[in-house]
Structure 1
Amino acid sequence: MRSFRPVIFKRTGPAKARLRRINLVSTLPPLVCVGALVVVIDSRTWWQAVVLSLGVVAAVVGTERWTADDFPRVAVPCLAVAAGVWLFGALAGCPTAFYGISVVGPTAIPSLPRYRGRATLALAAFVAAAGATRLVVVREPGLAVVLQYVVFSAFTVVVATGLMFASQRIFDLMRELEQSRDREAELAVMRERMRFASDLHDIQGHTLHVVKLKVTLAEKLLEHDVDQARAELREVHALVGDTITQTKELAYAQRRLNLSTELENAKNLFEAAGIHVRVDREAEIDDRAGELLGQVLRETTTNILRHAQARQVRITLTRSGITIVNDGARESVLPELNGLSTLGQRLSDNGGELKVTLQNGYFLTAATFPPAGPVPRTAGERS
């Protein structure tokens, strides 16, 4: 084989990491853009811009920590800064200075263990009271000032809190779905391990039972038929040697496999893990190639379930071999793959080739044999 560089992708970003990325992408950009717009429109001097920027920073920091499930650690300083900026804005005549508190406050309330309704009312009351300080510095306060600094700000905070409750519920459901998917993938891996244990039991369980019976029989025969006892012991020796060979083959994934069975098993495992799988079977493979391709498929299936964040897998069986493509591969982690490396060497020894490539988050495993080996089947037939 000319080049074989196996790649493995560790599943380091399960539900929590994936949801964090979704939250960051969906919340931080619009939050920063609106905050910058508020500062540009509402500030009349450079020092007002600095103070208003502090409120935007508090909102951004609080939201970023919320996406990491670490908001309680920064809740108090962010709330203090945002509240101070709003009080300053009310006194300085900056009506949009409540932007920071309208983000940090609604973010903090859903994380409280209880008294959330009371906390919402207290937040709205503080925002309204801080806005009411504008009435003290204005010589002739009118209805417009009351609506702008008191009513509108308090109403906005209440609405934002309600929306945050709904958003929190949606993300909780997404987290539960992602965690369920991770558990399904782990369950699929456990099923594969149990299948391996079952194969091992099939090999050794029956053999050990027969060995026990033959040793007992040989012990009885020693008294009156030594030759027959020796024959029984020779059978025991041969049986144990054969079992050792089968166990080694199983340990190194060299036991005879049925490719059709492996295709069906891989499909069931992926579907159980919530992964969409498509199997295109365009040709029939002979037994020699099918056994090796079945081993490649089994090893690749296990790696996808354990180390990738796949959502789609496509398996293509052609006259020359098999190709497995999955998404969800991480390009930052590239350690060696012992399982596929061993299989790659076995394919090379049998005239085949195993290629593993990674491009744009897609992981491709392709095992091929010379065209003369497989037996052609009706092209285009799919399973």
Structure 2
Amino acid sequence: MTDVIFRVRRGVGPLRGCHNGGVREREPGLVRFRRYTWWSVPGTAVTCLVVFVGEWIADPDVPVPARAASAAALLATAVASGVLLSRRLAPARSGEPPGRPPLGWLAAGGAGAAVLGAVPLALGNYGLWAVAPAIMVAIAAAVLPPARRRVLLGCAAALAPVPGGAASLAADDGQVLYASLFPLGLLVFSCWVTLGPLWAWDVAARLDEARRMSAELAVKDERLRFAADLHDIQGHHLQVIALKSELAARLAAADPARAAAEMEEVRRLAADALHDTRAVVQGYRRTTLDEEIANATRVLAAADIDARTHLDPSGPGRLAESSRHLLGLVVREGTTNVLRHSRARHAEVDYRVTGGTARLRMSNDGAAGRSAGPPGSGLRTLAERLHAAGGELTWEHDGDRFTVAATLRADPNGGPE
């Protein structure tokens, strides 16, 4: 048995399914990545504030007024940090301009960080005073536009050594170098652990938007192909029909026999146009099993779905042209259903000829939460057509898996695969 496997690897980012030419906003991969980033960035910032500053506030040696002021400032800074970073991670809608920075929360967080810096510094704690200001600067840089972000970071880096160094010089405690350089290092570290994951989030969001556009373009390309086929057929036939009808009108009085012959030709052309149009609508024209399988792989990949295809058409018997077209339509309908109705991350297409029977099986893992009935009239219509051709089409919903299976008898004298 020859088993040819085509596999399209999923990229980083979400899954989006096509629906009515658009894109259904349901991206499990990106949602999980956002959840991880939320816990890692805002969670880390708030945890550092609570652990380091909270431990200092709980120290009984710290004066009560300083503890009270720092506790209120810690609460304001922690809440503002969580809100600012949550808004920064909120997925923007396609085409929606970025909103203005939340100045109220920035002011609340900045005021709280200033208190949490001034009180420990006044008490000579050179290792703690820069924690809250450094974290708040990194968070403010994350929500500001790029131009203002650069100005903020430059000013913060230039000013970071000044308060601690000045306080150490005034106290003459010999810790000028530590008091000056530690806040700068803490600022760099805070910006690194905050802005780095947010940059990765932005890259993933842009990749997701590119995949969304790719999936939309795949659907639009298919519509354009159908429109071009229909235009080619109708344009040619209608042009000839118009010319022959005009000729018949001119000959009606002078040569009735020839006029009747021309009108008979018009009738024949109209019948051909109707047949060709039906062929396009039903998918016969330029629809083959091999092309539809290849197209399914490309379209599913554009929607960020792992598409694995197993092909073994080397069994005894061959499918006739009409049978290959029918199975091609099953692949097309199955692919459309995956994009439109599922939340799949993986899909499989298995086609093989065994025991004189062609068997096509399509499955995906995105049916969780869907009803057990058929996704629409498309499969029921195809089931009737396969039944008329001596085959069978079934579908099954089991947990999060949806499977479509088609069988057709292979004709030993049929055309080549």
Q: Shorter-chain TM-score: which interval?
A: 0.7 to 0.9
Over the aligned positions, Cα root-mean-square deviation in angstroms equals 4.4
Tell me which residue corresponds to 1:64. 86
Amino acid at match of 1:119: L
- Answer yes or no: is the 8 Å Cα contact 1:8–1:333 preserved in 2: no
Tell me which residue corresponds to 1:353. 393
Q: List runs of 5+ in structure 1 lacking aligned partners.
A: 1-6, 377-382
- Answer yes or no: is the 8 Å Cα contact 2:296–2:335 preserved in 1: yes
Following superposition, the deviation at residue 55 of structure 1 comes to 2.0
- Larger mean CA deviation between 55-64 and 113-122 belongs to 113-122
CA distance in 2, matches of 1:77, 1:341: 52
Deviations, residues 246-304 of structure 1 (Å, cap 9, x unaligned): 43453354668321221223334445666553320134773454333211322343455
The 5 Å alignment of 1:3-42 reads: 10-13=23-26, 20-21=34-35, 23-38=37-52, 40-42=54-56
Tell me which residue corresponds to 2:139. 107
Match of 1:324 among 355, 359, 362: 362
Are 2:406 and 1:368 equivalent residues in the alignment?
A: yes
The 5 Å alignment of 1:212-291 reads: 212-248=242-278, 250-251=280-281, 253=283, 257-270=287-300, 276-283=306-313, 286-287=319-320, 288-291=322-325
TM-score by length of 1: 0.73
SS in 2 for 1:114: helix
CA distance in 2, matches of 1:122, 1:280: 60
- Answer yes or no: is the 8 Å Cα contact 2:326–2:386 preserved in 1: no
Aligned residues with identical type, % of pairs: 26
Q: Cα distance 1:143–1:59, how it changes in 2: closer, same or farther (>3 A)?
A: farther
- Larger mean CA deviation between 291-300 and 237-246 belongs to 237-246
CA distance in 2, matches of 1:131, 1:308: 58
Match of 1:315 among 349, 353, 364: 349
The 5 Å alignment of 1:117-266 reads: 117-124=150-157, 142-143=173-174, 147=178, 151-161=181-191, 167=197, 169-248=199-278, 250-251=280-281, 253=283, 257-266=287-296
Amino acid at match of 2:326: L
Which structure shows the higher helix fraction?
1
- Larger mean CA deviation between 167-176 and 195-204 belongs to 167-176
Q: Cα distance 1:364–1:202, how it changes in 2: closer, same or farther (>3 A)?
A: farther
Q: Cα distance 1:131–1:182, how it changes in 2: closer, same or farther (>3 A)?
A: same
Size of the aligned set, in residue pairs, is 362
Match of 1:294 among 307, 328, 348: 328
Deviations, residues 20-60 of structure 1 (Å, cap 9, x unaligned): 45632543444444444335533317855454233222222
TM-score by length of 2: 0.68
CA distance in 1, matches of 2:402, 2:34: 27
Q: Cα distance 1:258–1:21, how it changes in 2: closer, same or farther (>3 A)?
A: same
- Answer yes or no: is the 8 Å Cα contact 1:189–1:305 preserved in 2: no
CA distance in 1, matches of 2:265, 2:398: 51
